[in-house]
Chains A and B, each alone.
Chain A
Amino acid sequence: MSVKQFRPAFDRGFHNLTFGLSMFVLLLLVAILAFLVMGSIPVLQNQGLSFFISSDWNPVTDVYGALPAIIQTLITAIIALLIGVPVSFGIAIFLTELSPAWIARPVGMAIELLAAIPSIIYGMWGLFVFAPTFGAALQRWTMANLAPIPVIGPLFASPPMGIGIFTASIILAIMIVPFISAMMRDVFTTVPAVLKESAYGLGCTRWEVVYRIVLPYCRAGTVGAVMLGLGRALGETMAVTFVIGNSHRLSASIMGPGATISSSIANEFVEADSKLHTSALVTLGLTLFVITFIVLAVARLFLLRLKKQAGH
C-alpha cells in the first residue's frame, strides 16, 4: 500500500474514532437512565405509586414514602433561588454597569472562585461556622418574634438548633450565587452600548436603564441562568447533607430538620441492607434525575433562544 492510500484510511479512522466517542456520550446518558430505572423496579413493584405520595419512610419495616424528600428538595431549592437570584442580579449589575474595570476583574474573579470551592467545604463550613452563628442570632429571634404570629407562625416554630431546611437553603443560595451571577454578567455584556446610551440620552436613570433596557433585552438568558442555578440547587448533595438535619418527616416549619432526595441517598445508601431500601434510594435518584432533566431542558431552551437572538 502506498503512502497516498494510507493517508485517507488514517483520516477516516480518526474521524470514526471521534464520532464513535461522541456516540458514547449519548450512550452514557441512556445507560445512566437505564440503570436507574432498573434499580427502581423492586420498590415500585412492591409499593407502586404510593412511593411518591406517601410520607412514611421507615427502613425498619421496609416501607418507603418519598413525599417529604421530594417536597423538601423543592422547598430548599426554591428558597435558595428567592435569596440567590436578587443577590446574583445585583452582583451582575455591579460587575457590568457600576464598577470600573479594575474593580470588576478581581471581584469577578473572587465570585468565580466562590463557585470553584467544592461543595463538601460549604457543608463543613455551614455545619461548624455558619449554623451555630445563624442559630444563635437569627433563629432565636424568629422563634421569639415570628413563631407566635398566627397562620405564618408555624413556619418558624422550631428549636434554634442552627441546622435545618432554612439553613440548607441559605448555604445553597451562597453556592448558586456565583454560578448565576457569572452567567448573568456574561449575558448582560451582550447588550449593545448604543441601546443603553440612547436610553440615558432620554434621561433614564441607571435603574431604569437596567430594568427597562438591559433586563428585557436579556430576558431569555436571565431565565436560562436562573434555571441552571435551580438545577444545581436541586441536585446539590454534600452541602445539604451536612446542614439539613436528616429527618424524614414533613413538618410545617422551615426552620426544622428535613431531608432532600440527594441527602437521603448520601446518608443511607451504604447502610441500606435491604434490597427494597437500596431500590427506594435509587428510585429517589431517578426522580431527582427526571426533575433536574426537565429544569435543565427548559434552561437550554431559553439559552438557545438567546444564541439565536445574538446571531440574528
Chain B
Amino acid sequence: MYMRRRLVSMFHMTMAHLVTALGVAMLAWILWSLFGEGFSAVSLKLFTEMTPPPGSDGGLLNAIVGSLMMVGIATLLGIPVGLFVGTYLAEYGRYAKISALVRFINDILLSAPSILIGLFVYELVVVPMGHFSGYAGAIALAVIALPVVVRTSEDMLLLVPDSLREAAAALGIPRWRVILQVSYRAAGPGLLTGALLAVARISGETAPLLFTSLNNQFWSANMNQPMANLPVVIFNFAMSPYDDWRSLAWAGALLITLAVLGLTIAARTLLAAKSRMKG
C-alpha cells in the first residue's frame, strides 16, 4: 500500500519534471528557429532599404521607422494617462468604492482580445477620417498600453510604505508634492518597469494594427497616412508565397523578438535590483 502511494507520487513528480523540461525546450526550439532563419536574412540592407516588391532586394527600413514612431506616440499617450490612473487608485482613491470598479474594468481591458481594440479604433478613428493612418495605429496601441501601466503603477505605488508619506505630510508638504516627490521617487524603478513592460507588450502587437495603420510599401513619416510597421509586414510577408519576402519576415520576427525580450529582461532586472535594495 505504501509502495503504491510512493510510486504514484514518483510518477507525478517525474511528470512535473518532464513538462517543465518540455516548456523550456519549447522556448529553446522557438528561439533556435528564429535565430536560424532570421540571422541569415539580417544584413545592412535590412536597416537601409525599403520593403521590396516580390522578387527584388530590399530591407525593412520603413517598417522599422513606422513601428518606432507608432510605439513612441502610443507610449507618450498611454503611459502618462496610465500612471495618473494608477496614482488615483493607489493614492487618492485607495479605498473609494469607484476604485474597485475602475480596477475591475481595467482588468477587463487588460485581458480583452487586442483585435477588438483594433475594431474599436477602426470605428472611432479610421471611419470618420476616411482612411487608415499611423495615428489610428498609435491610438490603438495606446489603448492597449494603458491598462498595463495602470496595473503596474498602482501595484508599485502600493509598495511604498505609508510611513514615508506620513513623514512627508507631517512636514506640511501638500499631497501632490508628497506623491510627486516621495511616492514617485520611491516607486521609481517599479514605475519604469511598468512602462517598459507596456512598451514590450505593444511592440509586438499585430492584430490591432491590421486595420488601423494598415501598411505602406513605401517610405512615409506622415502619421496621417497608412504606415508601414514591422508586425503587419511580417504577417503579410510570411503569408506570401515568395521566398525573399518570407526571409525578410523571419528577419523582422527576429528583430521584434530581440526587442521585446530585451525590454522584458531589462524590466525584470530592474525589479530584481529594486527588491534587493529593499533587502
Contacts and interface: CB of A to CB of B under 8 A. Distances in A.
B34 A125 contact: yes
Interface in B75-125: 81, 84-85, 87-89, 91-93, 98-99, 101-102, 104-109, 111-117, 119-120, 122-124
A29 B105 contact: yes
Contacts of A205: 5-6, 8-9
Contact of A39 (B16, B85, B119, B214): B119
Contacts of B81: 21, 24
Contacts of B114: 235, 237
Interface string A119-148: 111111101110000000000000000000
Given A22-B89, A205-B8, A300 B123 contact: no
A262 B108 CA distance: 17
B6 to A, nearest CB: 6
B261 A116 contact: yes
A296 B104 CA distance: 10
B194 to A, nearest CB: 14
B250 interface: yes
A292 interface: yes
Interface string B52-86: 00000000000000000000000000000100110
Contact of B231 (A8, A107, A111, A118): A118
A25 B113 contact: no
Given A35-B124, A87-B23, A118-B256, A300 B210 contact: no
Interface residues of B, number: 87
Interface stretch (B43-51, B200-208, B217-225): B200-208
15 contacts: A11-B176, A14-B179, A15-B88, A21-B84, A25-B85, A25-B106, A91-B16, A118-B257, A120-B235, A205-B8, A237-B115, A269-B211, A270-B211, A270-B214, A289-B112
Interface of A: 7-8, 10-11, 14-15, 17-19, 21-26, 28-29, 31-32, 35-36, 38-39, 86-87, 90-91, 93-95, 97-99, 107, 109-114, 116-125, 127-129, 174, 177-178, 181, 205-208, 210, 228, 231-232, 234-238, 241-242, 262, 265-266, 269-270, 281-282, 285, 288-289, 292-293, 296-297, 300
Given A110-B23, A207-B11, A207-B12, 9 more contacts: A18-B85, A21-B85, A90-B20, A91-B20, A98-B17, A121-B257, A124-B238, A237-B115, A262-B207
